[in-house]
């Protein structure tokens, strides 16, 4: 966050104590203090996986993400250590996802000892294999980058409280970097699509009716247009976006399962993550609605061939 702020990105300042430390341990708790960000919190009560209010907000979010990616360039810290609640990209960044999946699970004792997790991991690998096959030859062209990995509208602050002021408000600040890790720009953009464009909560209520899940194609177009107005993707990045959209959720679903099992000691909540979010979302991308989303991203990529 300090690197982004020095490079002009709209993120809150992280305050340091007299010794220059930004993380302070008091008893069993660790604290950070952030300066209050400037702007209106228009989505303060919005859950993840709920859509933008309008396409102007989607466009502004795309612009903000692109500016953040430009500011992130040059930050070369290694990816984060093994811990819950990080949206990393290692399993499907590998040539052999099955081996990478095994390594991922073994490194997390709460998952490694759960036979149901291993079974769901195998299911997810099978469901997601076609998308990895498409992504794999494009992986060398995806430049490593530290990314936010949770750019939902609720993690943005806005310049105007009105929804139709001119062309809509701009983004004044990006908050909540808890899921950040070293991935790549396409991974981050795919997460923004996953978080804002598909109403996954409808799938939770209707798990056997995948085609009733709303997909906001107008917001998708605006999000991508906003991003490319600031930072056009390369041809390889555009080609990688559709398969990445199907793959990007998997590692965070496992990370949440690890959090629920290891920290909260709740097998019920962990099952919600590895049954519903890992396997359920992977299966959805094979439904008519899921294929329509991926086809729409592919059509957008083809329409922008040769554009830079």
What is the percent of the chain where pLDDT is above 70? 97
Residue 162 has pLDDT above 80, yes or no: no
Q: Which helix (H) or strand (E) is 237 found in, with range? A: helix 235-247
Q: For strand 171-174 and strand 156-158, is the pairing parallel, antiparallel, or unpaired?
A: antiparallel
Q: What is the mean pLDDT of the chain?
A: 95
Task: Say what the pLDDT of residue 164 is.
Answer: 54
Predicted structure pTM score: 0.94
Domains defined for the chain, CATH in brackets: 39-303 (3.90.1200.10)
Task: Say what the pLDDT of residue 48 is.
Answer: 83
The pair of structure tokens assigned to 71 is: 């500011």
Q: Binning pLDDT at 50, 70 and 90, where does residue 286 land?
A: very high
Task: Say what the pLDDT of residue 166 is.
Answer: 46
- CA 111 from centroid of its chain's CA atoms: 22
What is the percent of the chain where pLDDT is above 90? 93
Whole-angstrom distance, CA of residue 123 vs CA of residue 97: 13
Check if the beta carbon of residue 63 is closer than 8 Å to that of residue 55. Answer: no
Whole-angstrom distance, CA of residue 101 vs CA of residue 122: 9
Q: For strand 144-147 and strand 171-174, is the pairing parallel, antiparallel, or unpaired?
A: unpaired
Locus of tokens 């962990």: 270
- CA 306 from centroid of its chain's CA atoms: 27
pLDDT in tens, 34-83: 999 999 999 999 988 899 999 999 999 999 999 999 999 999 999 999 99
Q: What is the DSSP letter of 155?
A: G
Task: Say what the pLDDT of residue 133 is.
Answer: 98
Check if the beta carbon of residue 231 is closer than 8 Å to that of residue 70. Answer: yes
Residue 38 buriedness (CB in 10 A; 0-12 / 13-18 / 19+): exposed
Residue 165 has pLDDT above 50, yes or no: no
Residue 214 has pLDDT above 50, yes or no: yes
């Amino acid at each position: 966050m300090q690197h982004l702020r020095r490079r002009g990105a709209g993120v809150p300042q992280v305050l340091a104590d007299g010794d220059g430390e930004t993380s302070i341990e008091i008893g069993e708790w660790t604290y950070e203090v952030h300066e209050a960000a400037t702007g209106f919190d228009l989505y303060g009560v919005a859950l993840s996986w709920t859509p933008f209010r309008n396409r102007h907000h989607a466009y502004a979010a795309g612009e903000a993400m692109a500016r953040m990616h430009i500011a992130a360039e040059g930050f070369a810290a290694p990816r984060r250590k093994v811990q819950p609640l990080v949206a990393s990209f290692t399993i499907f960044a590998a040539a052999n996802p099955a081996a990478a999946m095994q390594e991922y699970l073994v490194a997390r004792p709460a998952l490694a000892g759960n036979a149901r997790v291993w079974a769901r991991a195998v299911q997810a690998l099978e469901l997601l294999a076609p998308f990895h096959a498409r992504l794999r030859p494009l992986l060398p062209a995806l430049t490593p980058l530290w990314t936010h990995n949770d750019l939902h509208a609720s993690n943005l602050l806005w310049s105007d409280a009105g929804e139709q002021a001119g062309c809509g408000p701009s983004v004044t600040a990006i908050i909540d970097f808890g899921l950040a890790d070293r991935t790549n720009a396409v991974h981050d953009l795919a997460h923004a699509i996953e978080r804002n464009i598909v109403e996954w909560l409808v799938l939770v209520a209707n798990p056997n009716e995948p085609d009733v899940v709303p997909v906001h194609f107008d917001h998708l177009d605006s999000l991508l247009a906003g991003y490319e107005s600031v930072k056009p993707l390369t041809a390889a990045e555009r080609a990688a976006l559709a398969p990445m959209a199907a793959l990007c959720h998997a590692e965070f679903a496992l990370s949440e399962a690890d959090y629920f099992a290891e920290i909260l000691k709740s097998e019920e909540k962990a099952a919600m993550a590895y049954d519903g979010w890992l396997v359920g979302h992977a299966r959805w991308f094979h439904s008519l609605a899921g294929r329509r989303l991926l086809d729409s991203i592919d059509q957008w990529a083809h329409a922008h061939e040769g554009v830079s």
